[in-house]
């Protein structure tokens, strides 16, 4: 699949995702207006929508449609948006800029930012509960997968380990743990949920999970590299911040050239896992390659 074929696949899917996300959160006029304004501010701030795209591509790889995967795609993005708001709080990473705009707590204050995150997380489960997966899996199964990926042994475990690692000497196991939990768990959930929504078999779901693990590492290594090498304008968030905070990153531990090699290796590993999908895995394959070569 060429870059322009991929772009042609992405465009309508991303448009549908934006539309569906808009419908996930009450309009700003619904009382209390502040919270709905804050939720929409963060959720509809643009972004790559990587997780929804992966979710929809996984659905197609399992023989289903984008439409079937849409509630799950939205749920995963809702969780992602919540996690960014809370990560940016002064008591966490204390960031002022996200997706090129002031962070939630800079605009709405810390109290509302905490609550907006809470509300987006809650809404994720509400949206997922309304999904009607095709066969084999129930709505409750979807909820269980998302909750596991987002919980204290998933996304949150990564954030805790990240907080606790600050200023400590980086170690390889700790670095992999943080990155696998903080980025990988939600990417894997996006893929698995996409497959589950369309009645994918247990073996297909397991394959998507293994693919997601490798993809998550490739993605996070590339993210670390971009954080060191790109400008604020490109990234839309404070650059060089991780290094300044003494955070564990791949470049900090291995240097840039070796980090680049590792990103390429995990990308190959990810693509390798897609073999059982044949040509149905073309979009996932192209998305994976594109992530390695992105510049923001």
Q: For its own copies, which is the closer residue by CB, 165 or 283?
A: 165
Beta bridge partners of 101: 98
Q: Is 159 or 220 the residue whose CB approaches its own copies more closely?
A: 159
Q: Residue 90 and residue 70: Cα distance in Å, rounded?
A: 33
* Residue closest to 216 by CA, chosen among 104, 81, 80, 20: 80
Q: CB 200 → its own copies: shortest distance, Å?
A: 18
Q: Report the nearest approach of its own copies to the CB of residue 259 (Å).
A: 25
Measured from the CB atom, is 77 or 123 closer to its own copies? 123
Tell the smallest beta-carbon distance from residue 51 to its own copies (Å): 16
Comparison of 3 and 144: residue with beta carbon closer to its own copies:
144
Contacts of 114 (CB under 8 A, 6+ apart): 86, 89
Helix, coil or strand: residue 102: strand
DSSP 3-state helix, strand, coil percentages of the chain (rounded to 5)?
Answer: 75, 0, 25
The torsion angles phi and psi of 5, rounded to 5 degrees, stand at -65, -40
Asked if 77 and 40 count as a contact pair (C-beta separation under 8 A), the reply is: no
To its own copies, the closest distance from the beta carbon of 39 in angstroms equals 6
Q: Whole-angstrom Cα distance, residue 85 to residue 77? A: 12
Residue 178 Cβ, how far from its own copies at the closest point, in Å? Answer: 10
Nearer to its own copies by Cβ, of 132 and 296: the residue is 132
Given the rule CB under 8 A, which residues bind its own copies?
25-26, 30-32, 34-36, 39, 82, 86, 89, 91-92, 109-112, 114-115, 117-119, 121-123, 125-126, 128-131, 138-144, 146-148, 150-153, 156-157, 159-161, 163-164, 177
**Residues written for the chain:** 296
Instruction: Find, among 173, 164, 155, the residue nearest to 253 by Cα.
Output: 173
* Cα–Cα distance, 57 to 55 (Å, whole number): 6
φ, ψ for residue 155, nearest 5 deg? -45, -50
The neighbouring-strand residues paired with 129 are none
How far apart are CB 1 and its own copies at their closest, in Å? 35
- Cβ proximity to its own copies, 13 vs 197, nearer residue: 197
> Smallest distance from the beta carbon of 124 to its own copies, in angstroms?
8
| Cβ proximity to its own copies, 164 vs 261, nearer residue | 164
Within 10 angstroms of residue 5's Cβ, the number of other Cβ atoms is 12
Q: Closest CB to its own copies among 61 and 119?
A: 119
CB of 69 to its own copies, least distance (A): 16
Burial 235-252 (b: 16+ CB within 10 A, else e): bbbbbebbeeeebbbbbb
């Amino acid at each position: 699949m060429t870059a322009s074929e991929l772009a042609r696949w992405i465009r309508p899917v991303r448009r549908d995702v934006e539309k569906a996300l808009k419908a996930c959160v009450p309009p700003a006029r619904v009382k209390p207006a502040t919270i709905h304004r804050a939720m929409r501010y963060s959720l509809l701030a643009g972004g790559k929508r990587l997780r929804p795209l992966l979710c929809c591509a996984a659905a197609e790889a399992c023989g289903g449609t984008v439409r079937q995967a849409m509630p799950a795609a939205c749920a995963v993005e809702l969780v992602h948006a919540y996690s960014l708001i809370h990560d940016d709080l002064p008591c966490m990473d204390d960031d002022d800029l996200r997706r090129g705009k002031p962070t939630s707590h800079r605009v709405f204050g810390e109290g509302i930012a905490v609550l907006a995150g809470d509300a987006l997380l809650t809404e994720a489960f509400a949206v997922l509960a309304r999904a009607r997966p095709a066969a084999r899996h129930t709505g409750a199964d979807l909820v269980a997968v998302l909750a596991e990926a987002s919980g204290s042994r998933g996304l949150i475990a990564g954030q805790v380990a990240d907080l606790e690692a600050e200023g400590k000497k980086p170690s390889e196991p700790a670095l992999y743990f943080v990155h696998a939990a903080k980025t990988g768990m939600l990417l894997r959930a996006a893929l698995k949920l996409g497959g589950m929504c369309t009645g994918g078999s247990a073996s297909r779901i397991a394959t998507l999970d293994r693919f997601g693990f490798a993809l998550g590492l490739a993605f996070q290594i590339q993210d670390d590299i971009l954080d060191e090498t790109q400008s604020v304008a490109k990234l839309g968030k404070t650059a060089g911040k991780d290094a300044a905070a003494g955070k564990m990153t791949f470049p900090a531990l291995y240097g840039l050239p070796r980090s680049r090699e590792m990103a390429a290796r995990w990308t190959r590993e990810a693509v390798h896992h897609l073999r059982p999908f044949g040509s149905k895995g073309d979009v996932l394959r192209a998305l994976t390659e594109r992530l390695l070569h992105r510049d923001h």
